[in-house]
Structure 1
Amino acid sequence: MQLKIYPFLLLTLLGMAGCNKDFLVRDNPTATTDEKWWNLESDLNTALGDLYSGLPCGTLGDYGFWTNARMHTSGATDESVFRANFGDWQDYGAGTATVQQGSAQEIYQRKFLYIRNACRFLEHYKKAYVANLEKKERFASEARALRAWYHLELFQLYGPIPIVSKTIDVNEQFVKRNTAAEVIKFIADELELAAAGLPDKYSQGDQFRITKGACYAIQASLYINAGDYANAAIAAKKVIDLQVYTLHHSSDPAANNYAQLFSYNGVGSNEVILFRGQGQRGGFFRSAPKSLNGQSCNSPTAAMVNAYETLQGKTIQELGKDSMAIYAADPVYKNNRDPRLKASIAIPGETFIGMKLEPWKEDGPDAIGKGQSTHTGFWIKKYVDPLDQGNTDGGGMNFIIIRYAEILLDYVESLIETDRWQNADVVHYLNEIRARAGMPDVNTAVYNSKEKLRELVRRERLVELSFEGQRLFDIRRWKIAEKVMNGPAEGAVSPITGKPIVVEVRRFNPERDYLWPIPLLEMTSNPNMVQNPGW
């Protein structure tokens, strides 16, 4: 049997493709039979641990799986510009991605690989001896939820995909894409089934595991990105009604509550719904300025910086041309901006961890455009904890995949889009998020219609969830990518020219770019696979 006769996806589902761990190739690290492997609780724990290893990281993927790093995807949006000695996120912004795109191929293969292993788990777990039968079934619920999660990740990027609910053999090699409705129903049903067997929370040491609330949160993400706002509202409300999660607030009244969440002091916060343990490994190195021995892989754009309101709750655009010019040149003018700006982004002239950042100094380490330096004059501060300084690939901070603030925003958006914008929960939860950040309540005299509240919640999502990996799906869902991803990507205002620097010109084809391509290797080897439009 020649390996080359099988299609790309089938190679993955058969476990015959190259991968990073022995368990992904064989049924266990020593290549023993199923009868010898699926026998003990420790076997199930090992297999389940491998399934968790596919969850997204922040800025450094596991074992070279750089496409698993969520924060870098902001370079494919209007949040930032991506430049590094790895990765290809900049190609999506430039409109130059192809069917041979490395990220599109690797994500497609890897996620189906984890799906395959989840299927194997669910097919064999009953053989293992586990003294606590309830625990054994909980393991199965975790595997089921993870399988649903990996289907969702693929669905969000590629559109309707083949549903894989069992291991594939050679007689089923030419898989077909299911319809969008079928994929949505499969994911939602699997999550509902998994939630029934999972606890609300875990004891210390097991907090990385998927909970009932995480299942509902994933459902909310599924529905909202599919445009099913009615069901998204129901799923998000399930999370809220569990009364397990709260927005993070520090016990130190002087602390910045929002900033602390993305530091070691935020570990264990009740805001976190799903996280990847030590998933922000190398976060300081990947985001920090070059003067602090960082790589500045993602440089925030002026569009991102200009999205933050003033402390009075005004956008800088509505202040008029003169004021907007002042804030464009000095984003934190008189320290009068949304505190989330200072918590998330470093700006020119700022002293950060004892280093003055000088992007306009041509012979300085942070000069704009130099290798491993900022390309816009701005830097990401989120998850850049001074405790990790000096750790290139080290550090042990967790990466938050889903948090309570996102669920509240899902719920509010869903209420607005289902014409329930006058529901008291809309302003109530927006105010909760804004108050935690140090911002004033929603001005209901201004935000008094569906259109105005839609504008507000979209801006809140941008600034609250900045660089966390949600923006790619937001601009797709709202069908605004052709607006925000066409034209010049600008950075800070140069003190020499008085104008913002232009890093690149971005292009987005709405007839093609709302979905990623099915990888060429899959298309050429599977006659039943249909390519996405325009690719």
Structure 2
Amino acid sequence: MFKMKISILYINVGILTALSFLSSCNDDFLDRSSKDKVEAPFFFNTAKDLEVATNALYTMLPDFNIYTEDAASDNLVPLNPSTKIRGNRIVPVGSGSGGWSWGNLRRINYFLSNYHKANDDAAKAKFSGIARFFRAYFYYDKVKTFGDVPWYNTVLDAKDPDLYKARDSRILVMDSVMADLDYAIQNIPAEKQVNLITRYTAMLLKARIALFEGTFRKYHGIAGYQEYLSLAEQAALQLINSGAYTLFTEGGSESAYRNLFGRYNQNDIETILAVDYETGKRVHSLGSSFTSATQGSYGITKDFINSFLMSDGSRFTDRQGYQTYNFFQEMQNRDPRLTQITAGPDFKVTGKNTREPVNLSITTTGYRIIKALPDNSQWSTSGSYFDIILFRYAEALLIYAEAKAELGTITQADLDLSINKLRARAGMPNINLIQANATPDTYLANMYTNVDNGANKGVILEIRRERRVELFNEGFRWDDLMRWKAGKKIEQPMVGIYFAGVGSHDFNGDGNADVFLHTGSTTGAPTSVTSFVNILQRTLRNPLTGSQNSNSGNIDPFPTGGKFDEDRDYLAPIPSEDLLLNKNLVQNANW
């Protein structure tokens, strides 16, 4: 099935004009009047009215920036690490800032208070389900950001005392979110629409939220985690058993994963929901960001590279001396997804038959991003038009396996139904439950010190490995670290490629130097060199001793390192003006 050519985030100006009464007010609704109520008799009367109203809610979803959100995690080091990673977030001042904004919720609740006026029962069921999908999505973001938040399911006027109530418990809020998603799953049609919310999108969102909540409660010591992990398992299995989706395999194990993200237009084989971009209509700048030395200059971190298994399923980090492997060595015989995520020794740009010259100036760590990198005709500023995936079937497989493992009920059959399908797409051996639990990976165990130490420790670590690899740079990593209570992970060094010292380095094994390290003079560099690194400017960190400004070691683009306060940073602060406006609000701990 071909996708409908409608951009979920590109709404006709006429539609926005018609909906201006829903969104013209400031996002802070504490002092908002109820003048928009007089418009209800003139709208919400037909199926088209309901469709138009819910189309406006799609602006709540992420856009192309989701493909760089891992820069606020331990997966990527940008030119300027985020405040979350640096540990220097501050309490925002302005009311409604820092994520504490509620305008979208008012739009949703206004719709839900008026949609019943339409004369089409099927339309009322569908679009009220979509509205409740978005309310669940809205509150999921609020809870993972702030913890307890006030729950509102009606439109309040400026004099309503509930505007100034205290925060409701996350138990009440998350139970309400699950109820909204159950309603959405029951009422939105089971159709496949790549650019529109469907029943399948609601199934996956329920699984996603339930997994977050279940593991957050488990690792943060909050009661009720088993219930949510069970809900995650059930929702993921419901999607799996629907048979509506499978994994995209075009190109085989050596290129299917890369092809999935790099193609212009998404279809409905694996992709459940995507943002539609089209040349001449709606474009973005990811091609430029991934290839510019002055924009993102994103660099993939070494411990993420280390996490990829060997092609035979053995652990790279079990190999003697892996810490000092050169680039060509470490790229040999690895999980094929490695060189579909980062440029390997034989990297070729999409559509080209010749090897791309090594260029370390466009990446902070030396490991450049090629996942979702389009052909070079889309590398100019605002020159990219490939679609952005927001929900895909692979996530359901990962959720199912993790929920079962964290519950302690996982079997080999569960792995074969889920994770091992992802392994098969990549041409990798299956995870064996008995073997994984018999010998948990110490490298991963040191990475995730709060992991469940029970009988399933080994397989939980392997599932976390698979999740990090499969979902790289799709906007999940920070939330994963938060729910696993693994914030301290960002304090581990975020380094790049290892170099044995100054001089020439062959990156593709053809006997010719590609990179030349120096201390200010490039005299003697072979003519074949395409990238120069001055280690007085791009310093090295010794992987064995940890010493910085070393003569040999890993590129060290973030020498000050990440900072994370275990007693504070799992939740964000509420703006100070909102605390003044509502005396019943209490600031999150230690902010």
User: What TM bracket, shorter-length normalisation?
Assistant: 0.7 to 0.9
The corresponding residue for 2:335 is 338
Is the contact made by 1:260 and 1:266 (CA closer than 8 Å) also made in structure 2?
A: no
Going from structure 1 to structure 2, the CA distance change for 1:163 and 1:262 (only over 3 Å counts) comes to: same
Alignment of 1:257 with 2:277, yes or no, is no
- Aligned equivalents of 1:32 and 1:171: distance in 2? 18
Is the contact made by 2:95 and 2:576 (CA closer than 8 Å) also made in structure 1?
A: no
1:284 paired residue among 256, 265, 286: 286
Is the contact made by 1:262 and 1:383 (CA closer than 8 Å) also made in structure 2?
A: yes
- Aligned equivalents of 1:349 and 1:498: distance in 2? 25
* % identity of equivalent residues: 27
1:488 paired residue among 480, 493, 501: 493
RMSD value, Cα: 3.1
Alignment of 1:221 with 2:208, yes or no, is yes
The corresponding residue for 1:392 is 381
Normalised by the length of structure 2, the TM-score is 0.74
1:137 paired residue among 125, 129, 135: 125
Going from structure 1 to structure 2, the CA distance change for 1:324 and 1:35 (only over 3 Å counts) comes to: same
2:405 paired residue among 407, 413, 416: 416
Is the contact made by 1:282 and 1:395 (CA closer than 8 Å) also made in structure 2?
A: yes
Alignment of 1:477 with 2:498, yes or no, is no
Alignment of 1:58 with 2:64, yes or no, is yes
Going from structure 1 to structure 2, the CA distance change for 1:72 and 1:100 (only over 3 Å counts) comes to: farther
The corresponding residue for 2:92 is 100
Alignment of 1:79 with 2:91, yes or no, is no
The corresponding residue for 1:530 is 586
- Aligned equivalents of 1:103 and 1:337: distance in 2? 50
Q: Secondary structure at the match of 1:489?
A: coil
2:137 paired residue among 149, 167, 187: 149
CA shift for structure 1 position 385: 1.1
Is the contact made by 2:27 and 2:96 (CA closer than 8 Å) also made in structure 1?
A: no
CA shift for structure 1 position 27: 9.0
Q: Secondary structure at the match of 2:557?
A: strand
Q: Secondary structure at the match of 2:494?
A: strand
- Aligned equivalents of 2:363 and 2:557: distance in 1? 10
2:552 paired residue among 498, 516, 521: 498
The corresponding residue for 2:83 is 91
The corresponding residue for 2:157 is 169
Is the contact made by 1:248 and 1:269 (CA closer than 8 Å) also made in structure 2?
A: no
Residues 90-489 of structure 1: pairs in structure 2 closer than 5 A:
90-100=82-92, 105-109=97-101, 112-128=102-118, 132-172=120-160, 173-202=163-192, 206-227=193-214, 228-250=228-250, 252-253=251-252, 256-264=255-263, 267-278=266-277, 281-285=283-287, 287-290=289-292, 295-320=295-320, 322-326=321-325, 329-330=326-327, 333=330, 335-346=332-343, 352=349, 355-359=356-360, 366=361, 373-386=362-375, 389-444=378-433, 446-449=435-438, 450-482=456-488, 484-489=489-494
Normalised by the length of structure 1, the TM-score is 0.81
Going from structure 1 to structure 2, the CA distance change for 1:390 and 1:32 (only over 3 Å counts) comes to: farther
**Letter matched to residue 91 of structure 1:** T
**Letter matched to residue 124 of structure 1:** N
Going from structure 1 to structure 2, the CA distance change for 1:516 and 1:331 (only over 3 Å counts) comes to: farther
CA shift for structure 1 position 96: 0.6
- Aligned equivalents of 1:174 and 1:34: distance in 2? 26
Is the contact made by 1:348 and 1:358 (CA closer than 8 Å) also made in structure 2?
A: no
Unaligned runs of 5+ in 1: 1-12, 60-69, 360-365, 367-372
**Letter matched to residue 284 of structure 2:** G
Q: Secondary structure at the match of 2:495?
A: strand
Going from structure 1 to structure 2, the CA distance change for 1:200 and 1:40 (only over 3 Å counts) comes to: closer
Which one has a bigger Cα radius of gyration? Answer: 2
- Aligned equivalents of 1:332 and 1:90: distance in 2? 32
Going from structure 1 to structure 2, the CA distance change for 1:254 and 1:307 (only over 3 Å counts) comes to: closer
CA shift for structure 1 position 40: 4.4
May I ask how many residue pairs the two structures share in their alignment?
Answer: 478
CA shift for structure 1 position 471: 1.1
**Letter matched to residue 371 of structure 2:** K
**Letter matched to residue 49 of structure 2:** D
Q: Secondary structure at the match of 2:307?
A: coil
**Letter matched to residue 99 of structure 1:** V
- Aligned equivalents of 1:469 and 1:119: distance in 2? 27
Q: Deviations over 1:213-242 (max 9, x none)?
A: 222211111211112322221221111121
